[in-house]
Structure 1
Amino acid sequence: MASSLTCVGVVWALLSFLSAAACCVGFFMPYWLLGSQMDKPVSFGTFRRCSYPVRDEERQATVMLEQCGRYASFQAIPSLEWRICTVVTGVGCGLLLLVALTALMGCCVSELISRAVGRAAGGIQFVGGLLIGSGCALYPLGWDSEEVQQTCSNASDQFELGSCEIGWAYYCTGGGAATAMLLCTLMSCFAGKKQKQYPY
């Protein structure tokens, strides 16, 4: 099977795929922020939430519905910062996934990834990682929203967690972005083989 990648390029392709997968899984999972409300565990992502209060008309009381789901609309996301974070992180994940799939195809297709293409792919990875990192940096600005304060004992504020804690999905997303920005971008410079010079 012909490959357009060097040995470093093959490692780059695998690492690109792993970092993109980590970012995408972390972005989709609603476990960025963990807390509790009415003695039930509650978790938030950028556009998803697990466990939320609903009004039970039969018992005339508010009960916690222990389900995970997306917000009903983009405007229903609790804060402007989280809406921006959702868009920025989503675009970043898309870029990393695009490069990762192209890099994996380079393992099987000859002359797909040259030195120049590899460096361009590294540039795209850097931008993708930067966007995701920006999304992770924006996320704590939304901790002053009413929904988060209800979960975090009314003690949360921007960059103040209150009784809540940061979840594994936040670290997974940030770690994937850092890997893409630092390691993958550097390795991409040595990923492609030099193109053969044809005499015509």
Structure 2
Amino acid sequence: MACKLTGAGIMWTSLSLAAAILNCAGYYVPHWIRGSYHNAIDVSFGSFRRCNYPRLTNDGRLEIVSECGRYRTFADIPSLSWQITTILMGIGVSISLLVAFTVLASCCLSDVITKRSAKTIGVIQLIAAILMVSAAVIYPYGWTSPEIRDACGGLSDVYKLGTCELSWSSYMMFIGVVMLFICFILSFKASKVKLRPYNT
């Protein structure tokens, strides 16, 4: 069956898939911010995962675990703002991925995407982008937690990273969100197919 997408629709499909991949990878990989403990051990944090983190041993000593992993429970995430970020970002990323698979199906199946459904999907992509932007705005409120301050030279505060810096996962998600906004615009010109009224 022939593809019923316009040139803008094919670009929409490609960008939707690329945005979903960037957002999923950026969300899961815990390299949102990077710092170091005592200027010796590099650490990095996402909203629900971290790399090279401190842990108390059974005899009460502090040791550095040299691996990446998630917090043991949702309650162990160091701040309420990071818990909210995890939820909002997770919903936005999931929507982005689901939409990408739906849009990708339109390349293989005729009449999957009509003008109206393309606009609806574009609005859903806009909602996903807004959720992710909201999560990114809330995330810096967690920079006041003791774990982050230890890694950022004791200087971090809301919207102030101290000696830490944003890392590559943050940039991946930023690019993914920008792509979602572009997808929203492209969705208005994505399909050649008009919804046919049902005969009564």
TM range (shorter): over 0.9
Q: What residue number does 1:195 align with?
A: 194
The 2-side partners of 1:198 and 1:162 are apart by: 60
- The answer as to whether partners of 1:10 and 1:191 remain within 8 angstroms in 2 is yes
**Contact (CA 8 Å) 2:19, 2:176: kept in 1 or not?**
yes
How far the C-alpha of 1:5 sits from its partner, in A, is 1.5
- Residue 167 of structure 2 corresponds to residue 167 of structure 1: yes
Q: Which residue of 1 aligns with 2:149?
A: 149
Distance 1:190 1:153, change over 3 A: same
Task: Call closer, same or farther: CA 1:7–1:54 in 2, change over 3 Å.
Answer: same
Give 1:4 shift. 2.9
Q: Whole-Å Cα distance in 2 between the matches of residues 92 and 199 of structure 1? A: 34
Distance, in Å, in 1 between the alignment partners of 2:132 and 2:197 is: 41
Q: Determine helix, strand or coil for the equivalent of 2:189.
A: coil
SS of corresponding position for 1:136:
helix
Q: Which residue of 2 aligns with 1:78?
A: 78
**Equivalent AA in structure 1 for residue 146 of structure 2:** E
How many residues end up aligned between the 2 structures? 198
Deviations 1:113-157 (CA, angstroms, capped at 9, x unpaired): 000000000000000011011111111111001110111111111
Does the CA-based 8 Å contact 2:116-2:195 persist in structure 1?
Answer: no
1:105 and 1:49 map into 2 onto residues whose CA distance is 35
Distance (Å, rounded) in 2 between the aligned partners of 1:187 and 1:71? 38
- Structure 2's unaligned 5+ residue stretches are none
Aligned twin of 1:45:
46
- What CA RMSD, in Å, does the superposition of the two structures yield over aligned residues? 1.8
Q: Under a length normalisation based on structure 1, what TM-score does the superposition of the two structures give?
A: 0.93
Aligned 8 A contact 1:132 1:174 in 2: no
